[in-house]
Amino acid sequence: MTNLLDGKSLAALHERELTDRVTALKTRNGGQTPVLATILVGDDPSSAVYVRMKGNACRRVGMDSRAITFSSSATTEEVLSQIDQLNADPDVHGILLQHPVPAHVDERACFDRISVAKDVDGVTSHGFGLMALGEPAFGSATPAGIMRLLSHYQIDVSGKRAVIVGRSPILGKPMALMLANANATITLCHSKTVNLEAEVRRAQLVVGAVGKPNFIPSEWIGNGAIVVDAGYHVGGIGDIESGDLLDRCAAVTPVPGGVGPMTISTLISQTVTAAERAAQSA
Ligand code: NAP
């Protein structure tokens, strides 16, 4: 029987646990509320929606968010200076810079300016390196959320042939390393991969992280595979064509309601952890 990997329900369950942790933290910490600072640069409507959803999730668990917005003409220096202020602010526990920023802003420089202790979205080179080496670090929120979803459904990836389609720094690459750290055998595909179809056909676990609607045809996916679709496009379409996958795969993430809610839940969870650590070291 196919496991529907229900990220929406799991995220709701995690939010109940997080609410308890936030309440306990506030009690121990003289009422101080954990705060996630979000930085949005430009006027991309999808990014604005994602940032709003993250702020709403903070409030649902009793945290605060501080929304900082820049116009699309903002410079790298202005964003860096804002990140410096947030790094130095003891009332801020996590910093999220919404990806993507406008092309003229140096996104990598901005990500890497975030202090590792507040890198709750797992975007810094330092955090990525620690995660890759299997050292403690906040993982990149989307792949870390996928790992939590697989773990909740007791899907053991050890020894499985995992094929990840997409190698972005926030999704495909960290996904590949997290799966390798969990003992999967990984193939990381991208736009220069020769014969993508053959790679996907061999996969026991497929992760769609391409950013193109229905890019991977369902007929490429083998019977009994585990299918994780990180894509989300207008009309509730993912990067992987859903077709008959529910009838013949071992596990499938729905779109929507699979990976998306787990990304937000992981971001919030990592912010609460950052706030707990800050309280301990105060
Ligand atoms: P991205 O930065 O645009 O990266 C896309 C990747 O796909 C690149 O590595 C690219 O390869 C690869 N690609 C493009 N065309 C290809 C082709 N013809 N064959 C094979 N690979 C190809 O995208 P992203 O930020 O990682 O996001 C990917 C998807 O995940 C999007 O749908 C996005 O909306 C979704 N996403 C969802 C969440 C969530 O919370 N649910 C969070 C983040 C992203 P090259 O490296 O060679 O260019």
Q: Give the nearest ligand 1 atom to 210 CA.
A: 7
How far, in Å, is the centroid of ligand 1 from the Cα of 180?
19
Q: Is 239 one of the annotated active-site residues of the chain?
A: no
Is residue 65 within 8 Å of 38, Cβ to Cβ? yes
Q: Examine the pLDDT at 2 and tell me if it is beyond 80.
A: no
Q: Which residue's CA lies nearest to atom 39 of ligand 1?
A: 260
Tokens of 127: 């955090």
pLDDT tens readout for residues 29-43: 888 899 999 999 999
Q: Is 280 one of the annotated active-site residues of the chain?
A: no
Q: Examine the pLDDT at 1 and tell me if it is beyond 80.
A: no
Instruction: Please provide the DSSP assignment of 102-170 as one string.
Output: PTTS-HHHHHHHS-GGG-TT--SHHHHHHHHTT-S-PPPHHHHHHHHHHHHTT---TT-EEEEE---TT
Q: In CATH, what class is 141-260?
A: alpha beta
Tokens of 133: 């080496």
Q: Examine the pLDDT at 239 and tell me if it is beyond 80.
A: yes
Tokens of 179: 């799966």
Per-residue confidence (pLDDT) for residue 281, from 0 to 100: 86
Provide the strand spans (E) within the chain: 3-4, 35-41, 64-70, 94-97, 161-165, 185-189, 205-208, 226-229, 251-252
Q: Examine the pLDDT at 262 and tell me if it is beyond 80.
A: yes
Is residue 118 within 8 Å of 138, Cβ to Cβ? no
Tokens of 32: 């101080």
How far, in Å, is the centroid of ligand 1 from the Cα of 189?
11
In the chain, helix, strand, coil percent, each to 5? 45, 15, 40
Q: How far apart are the first and last CA of the chain?
A: 50
Q: Examine the pLDDT at 282 and tell me if it is beyond 80.
A: no
pLDDT tens readout for residues 36-83: 999 999 999 999 999 999 999 999 999 999 999 999 999 999 999 999
Domain ranges of the chain: 30-116, 141-260
Backbone angles phi, psi at 49, to 5 degrees: -65, -45
How far, in Å, is the centroid of ligand 1 from the Cα of 142?
12
3-state secondary structure at position 36: strand
Active-site annotation holder among 6, 119, 121, 229:
121
Is residue 170 within 8 Å of 211, Cβ to Cβ? no
pLDDT tens readout for residues 157-190: 999 999 999 999 999 999 999 999 999 999 999 9
**235: Cβ contacts below 8 Å, ≥ 6 apart:** none
Out of 190, 263, 267, give the residue to mutate to test ligand 1, the one with the largest number of ligand atoms within 8 Å of its CB.
Answer: 190
Please compute the mean of the pLDDT values over residues 5-29 and round it to a whole number: 96
How far, in Å, is the centroid of ligand 1 from the Cα of 253?
17
Q: Give the nearest ligand 1 atom to 263 CA.
A: 40
Average pLDDT taken over every residue of the chain: 97
CA pair distance 168, 37, nearest whole angstrom:
23
Which residues lie with the beta carbon below 6 Å from any ligand 1 atom?
Answer: 142, 165-168, 170-172, 189-193, 196, 209-211, 230-232, 239, 259-260, 263
The CATH number of the domain covering residues in 30-116: 3.40.50.10860
CA pair distance 22, 226, nearest whole angstrom:
34
> Do the two domains 30-116 and 141-260 of this chain adopt the same fold?
yes
